[in-house]
Structure 1
Amino acid sequence: MGGYSLDNNYKESRYEFSPLTQSYVPSQAKTSGKAITSLILGIISLITLPLGGIIVLGIVGFFSGIVAIVLSSLSFKEIKRVQVRGRGMAIAGLVCGIVATSVNVLAFVISFVNGFMNAINNV
């Protein structure tokens, strides 16, 4: 057996470990990739917001904001289910995505109404 022999001399077993030589270091929790991606896309949608006059960047900002919203909601579910980190990043990605998408929609509506009113006045 492992600890003592018949002559009461202590022999160390290969299955035991000394608490002085080996220590337990808890592993860090993994961060959700969806939360990181939603934060990055939310920031991209905010950066392209002032450049929305350029149609391509306005479209990129709009769709990256929508994808940021979707990914952050998926990451909330993943964080709850799998116990990973990244809740703060998911919240930041959600907020950035909502703000950028709503401002893009508002700018589109204002420019559409403005163009419509100019077309009516020119008739």
Structure 2
Amino acid sequence: MDLTPRVETFGQDDQTWLDSAHGTDAAISGTVDLTKGFVAGTHYPNGDLPSGTALGKVTASGKYGLYDDTATDGRQTLVGHLFTSVKARGDVIGAVLVHGRINRSRLPFAIDDAGVADVAGRIQYV
């Protein structure tokens, strides 16, 4: 057992992409696989994967990766957004927002109309 003290610094989480609190109490837990579409300098340049990141679910593993409409491993279907930022270290567990209202223009990374259609009825974009 390692009892060495560790210091972690947390920044302010930018959740301005949320248009309301609707659905935030129903976020689900999920494991994010950083090997599935994420690029260090682009998606987590400061070591944190930002809240609002669009996620697809990898069919083979059940883990979440970066939503990509051109993927063929399940990530081509948008299932939700990372609710809070997480440290980008290996596979990380985070909260996935699967229902609510989102200000599309404030998301950290743009999503296409196909992704919006994938979550129609669960997530409303304004």
- Mark yes or no: TM-score above 0.5: no
User: TM-score band (shorter)?
Assistant: under 0.3
Larger Rg: 1
| TM-score, normalising length: structure 1 | 0.23
